[in-house]
Amino acid sequence: MSANGNSKNLENTGERFIPGLFDMLTSDEHWQRYISVSAFVENKVVLDIASGEGYGSNYIAQTANKVFGVDISEEAIEHAQQKYNRENLCFSVGSVDKLGFEKDFFDTIVSFETIEHVGQDVQEKFLTEVKRVLKQDGVFIVSCPNKAIASDLAFDLWGYSNEFHLKEYYLDEFKEFLSNYFENVQFLYQRSEIAIILNDFDADSLKILRMAEKDHSDVQNIIAVCSQNEIDVSSMNSIVLDNRHRYLDNNKNVSGLIKSNTNLQGSLNSTLEVFMQTDQKLHDANLDLLQKEQQLSMAHSQLEQKDQLIENIKDQLKQKDYQLSVTSSKLHQMERQLSDSEAHMKKLEKQFEQKDVEIQVILNSTSWKFTKPLRRLESIFRKLRKDSE
The whole-number pLDDT of residue 234 equals 87
pLDDT interval class at 294 (50, 70, 90): confident
The answer to whether residues 168 and 150 touch, using CB atoms and an 8 Å cutoff, is yes
Average pLDDT of the chain is 84
Please return the burial class of 326, using the count of CB atoms within 10 Å of its CB with bins 0-12, 13-18 and 19+. Answer: exposed
Name the residue among 104, 109, 69, 110 with its Cα closest to residue 86: 69
The answer to whether residues 112 and 56 touch, using CB atoms and an 8 Å cutoff, is yes
Q: Which residue has the higher pLDDT, 61 or 381?
A: 61
> At residue 46, does pLDDT exceed 80?
yes
Average pLDDT over residues 93-100: 94
The answer to whether residues 71 and 90 touch, using CB atoms and an 8 Å cutoff, is no
CA–CA dist 108, 42 (Å, integer): 10
Q: What is the tens place of the pLDDT at every residue in 251-284?
A: 566 566 667 767 777 787 888 888 888 888 888 8
> At residue 216, does pLDDT exceed 90?
no
The whole-number pLDDT of residue 85 equals 93
Q: Which residue has the higher pLDDT, 155 or 362?
A: 155
pLDDT interval class at 1 (50, 70, 90): very low
Name the residue among 190, 198, 203 with its Cα closest to residue 35: 190
CA–CA dist 133, 104 (Å, integer): 5
pLDDT interval class at 10 (50, 70, 90): low
Average pLDDT over residues 41-70: 95
The whole-number pLDDT of residue 12 equals 64
The whole-number pLDDT of residue 150 equals 86
User: What percentage of the chain has pLDDT greater than the value 90?
Assistant: 37
Q: Which residue has the higher pLDDT, 378 or 11?
A: 378
**What sign has the CA pseudo-torsion 276, 282, 284, 290?**
negative
CA–CA dist 35, 59 (Å, integer): 8
Average pLDDT over residues 224-238: 91
CA–CA dist 376, 352 (Å, integer): 26
The answer to whether residues 46 and 110 touch, using CB atoms and an 8 Å cutoff, is yes
The answer to whether residues 4 and 84 touch, using CB atoms and an 8 Å cutoff, is yes
The answer to whether residues 88 and 63 touch, using CB atoms and an 8 Å cutoff, is no
> At residue 246, does pLDDT exceed 60?
no
pTM, full prediction: 0.63
Q: Pick the most confident of 178-192, 298-312, 314-328.
A: 178-192
Q: Report, in this order, helix, strand and coil percent for the chain, each rounded to 5.
A: 55, 15, 30
